[in-house]
Amino acid sequence: MKKIFKDIYNSFKNKADHKLSARKLTSFTFVTMAFYLHYAHVNDSNAVEVLIVDVSVVLILLGIVTVQNIIDFKNGNSEKTEN
């Protein structure tokens, strides 16, 4: 456990010999924040909305959809470009 905290602390430094990266720390931070928000604020009345937001954020971060795709879907634009 002590080594994990040491690696997290050392990964903020820009040295090549440390094992953790900024991408991993960013992911760790967002997952920790999401866990807290789900634990503190999600209940039966808003679970569906939270699930929609979670899936949308994951799809955007993975690059499967773009913000423009979501805006077009929300506005009802269903234009497809065929190649």
Q: Where are the domains of the chain?
A: 1-39, 42-83
More confident position, 44 or 73: 44
Q: What is the pTM of this model?
A: 0.52
Q: 82: pLDDT confidence band, cut at 50, 70 and 90? A: low
pLDDT bin (cut points 50, 70, 90) of residue 7 is: confident
| SS3 per-residue string spanning the chain | CHHHHHHHHHHCCCCCCCCCCHHHHHHHHHHHHHHHHHHHHCCCCCHHHHHHHHHHHHHHHHCCCCHHHHHHHHHCCCCCCCC
Q: Residue 28's pLDDT is what?
A: 72
Mean pLDDT of the chain: 79
In this predicted model, what pLDDT tens digit does every residue of 20-37 receive, in sequence order?
766 667 777 888 888 898
